[in-house]
């Protein structure tokens, strides 16, 4: 494993002119580093050097399948699930791997080096499970991939989901998932949360549940998720994903709920691009945004991450694996436009999801994995604004992707000759 020094870095916490020594895949030193003979150096030119982007919520089995076998005409979550159901019998092991690997190429190019993907376990063949386990192994040198056993058609509602979920865990899937709001009744939803948390507790696994992804304010499975987390001693090990019903809930009830979520140390993963797109589809006007209560959760000390969820699949016709696009949308939908709120939104696609996923040795401290990205921006706020070039992506101290600095040459009279958007950072 070769060594590397990054010079003249600006860090997310504001420190400037920092040098980082990468040795044997770890950060051996950070601050002032003397030149070492034979060690390659990168000049970050004062640009932001950040720990890599982390996506705590994705569906890699469905990604890049847009249009197969047809497009989602209504734009709803339910048509997306039905469409995925049409595609499932036609999937092949090779095609799932090929799409997943192509997505991973896109992710690496943008400094996205850790992803938690859900995998549908309702197909008795477990074809997607086997394919993504193979992908996890293939991409291990570049990306940390966590896989969640996800009963897309309902843990109780889909005939073999309970059996298949256990088979998937035996095969090596990392995390227990669920979808209580899609079960036949509220009671079955509640029972599914209990059963799935018990499986996780018994096997020592983490939990990440699609929870209350609906506009129905009476979808309150997150309350049960917090209760079961607390009852089974799973504090800090459980994620509630989406939680969109909280957008529409009664304020008094939410004031009780937030305290219960904080007590259980639940992590929350809303998905701004997808929530703003799929929710509110049954409304006329005003149309609800559908994203959960991000600033309020944050004020309660709940760890919140922004996930990408979907890229070019039955639920979402856009996306490019860029977590800065996700953060940018998060700023808008959660209205977190203060300087401090903007900086927090950067954490929501880096350190917060790393914490939710229990990633080991993540960050820019001495001893951490030498994983980082150099961005053509001066600070995290500018990174969210510009979604700039990822000049260098470094994994375990090795450059795994490189993009040239974007500078536009102007042909205007009496004006500067070049424009670099990163030079427009405000002084505040
Ligand atoms: Fe999802």
Catalytic residue among 183, 213, 228, 382: 213
List helix spans (H) across 91-238: 93-109, 127-139, 161-171, 186-203, 221-231
Which CATH code, of 2.30.40.10, 3.40.50.720, 3.40.50.2300, 3.40.50.1100, is assigned to 4-51+363-424? 2.30.40.10
Torsion of CA 406, 412, 417, 418, to 10 degrees: -20
- Distance (angstroms) between ligand 1 centre and the Cα of 289 equals 17
130 catalytic per annotation: no
The 10s digit of each residue's pLDDT in 272-331 is 999 999 999 999 999 999 999 999 999 999 999 999 999 999 999 999 999 999 999 999
- Distance (angstroms) between ligand 1 centre and the Cα of 390 equals 26
Tokens found for residue 12: 């997310």
CB of 115 closer than 8 Å to CB of 121: no
Nearest to 104 by CA among 72, 131, 75, 69: 131
The 10s digit of each residue's pLDDT in 38-81 is 999 999 999 999 999 999 999 999 999 999 999 999 999 999 99
Neighbours of ion ligand 1 (CB under 5 A): 309
From CA 119, how far away is CA 284, in angstroms rounded?
33
Distance, first Cα to last Cα, the chain: 41
271 three-state secondary structure? coil
Q: What per-residue confidence (pLDDT) applies to 1? A: 61
The arrangement of strands across the sheet holding 390-395 comes to 48-50, 372-375, 390-395, 398-402
- Distance (angstroms) between ligand 1 centre and the Cα of 193 equals 16
Where exactly does CATH 3.20.20.140 map onto the chain?
53-356
- Distance (angstroms) between ligand 1 centre and the Cα of 251 equals 25
- Distance (angstroms) between ligand 1 centre and the Cα of 68 equals 19
- Distance (angstroms) between ligand 1 centre and the Cα of 309 equals 5
- Distance (angstroms) between ligand 1 centre and the Cα of 176 equals 14
- Distance (angstroms) between ligand 1 centre and the Cα of 270 equals 9
- Distance (angstroms) between ligand 1 centre and the Cα of 148 equals 11
Where exactly does CATH 2.30.40.10 map onto the chain?
4-51+363-424
- Distance (angstroms) between ligand 1 centre and the Cα of 257 equals 22
Q: Which residues of the chain have pLDDT under 70?
A: 1
From CA 218, how far away is CA 338, in angstroms rounded?
32
CB atoms within 10 A of CB 260: 17
Q: Which CATH superfamily is domain 53-356 in?
A: Metal-dependent hydrolases (3.20.20.140)
Q: Which residues of 270-308 are buried (b: 16+ CB within 10 A; e: fewer)?
A: bbbbbbbbbbbbeeeeeebbbbbbbebbbebebbbbbbb
CB of 27 closer than 8 Å to CB of 365: yes
pTM of the full predicted structure?
0.97
From CA 132, how far away is CA 118, in angstroms rounded?
10
- Distance (angstroms) between ligand 1 centre and the Cα of 317 equals 15
């Amino acid at each position: 494993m070769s060594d590397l020094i990054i010079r003249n870095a600006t860090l997310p916490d504001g420190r400037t002119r920092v040098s980082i020594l990468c040795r044997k895949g770890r950060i051996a030193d950070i601050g002032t580093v003397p030149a070492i003979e034979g060690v390659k150096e990168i000049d970050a030119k004062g640009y932001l050097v950040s720990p890599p982007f982390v996506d705590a919520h994705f569906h890699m089995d469905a990604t890049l399948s847009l249009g197969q076998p047809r497009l989602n005409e209504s734009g709803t979550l339910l048509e997306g699930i039905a469409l995925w159901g049409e595609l499932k019998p036609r999937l092949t092991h090779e095609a799932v791997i090929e799409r997943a690997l192509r997505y991973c190429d896109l992710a690496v190019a943008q400094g996205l080096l850790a992803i938690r993907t859900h995998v549908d376990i309702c197909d008795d063949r477990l074809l997607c499970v086997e394919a993504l386990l193979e992908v996890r192994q293939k991409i291990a040198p570049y990306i940390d991939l966590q896989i969640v056993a996800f009963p897309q058609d309902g843990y109780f509602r889909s005939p073999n989901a309970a059996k298949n979920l256990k088979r998937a865990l035996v095969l090596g899937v990392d995390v227990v998932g669920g979808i209580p709001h899609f079960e036949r009744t509220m009671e079955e939803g509640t029972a599914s949360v209990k059963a799935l948390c018990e499986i996780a507790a018994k096997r020592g696994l983490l939990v990440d549940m699609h929870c209350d992804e609906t506009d129905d304010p009476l979808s309150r499975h997150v309350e049960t998720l917090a209760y079961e987390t607390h009852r089974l001693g799973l504090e800090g090990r459980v994620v509630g994903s989406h939680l969109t019903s909280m957008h529409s809930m009664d304020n008094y009830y939410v004031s009780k709920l937030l305290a219960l979520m904080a007590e259980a140390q639940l992590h929350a993963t809303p998905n701004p691009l997808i929530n703003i797109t799929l929710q509110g589809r049954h409304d006329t006007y005003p149309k609800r945004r559908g994203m959960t209560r991000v600033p309020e959760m944050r004020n309660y000390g709940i760890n919140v991450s922004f996930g990408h969820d979907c890229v070019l699949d039955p639920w979402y016709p856009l996306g490019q694996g860029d977590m800065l696009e996700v953060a940018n949308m998060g700023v808008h939908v959660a209205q977190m436009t203060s300087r401090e709120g903007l900086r927090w939104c950067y954490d929501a696609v880096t350190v917060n999801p790393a914490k939710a996923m229990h990633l080991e040795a993540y960050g820019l401290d001495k001893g951490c994995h030498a994983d980082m990205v150099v961005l053509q921006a001066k600070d995290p706020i500018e990174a969210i604004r510009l979604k700039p070039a990822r000049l260098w992506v470094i994994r375990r101290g090795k450059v795994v992707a490189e993009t040239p600095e974007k500078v536009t040459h102007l042909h205007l009279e009496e004006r500067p000759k070049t424009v670099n958007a990163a030079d427009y950072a405000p002084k505040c």
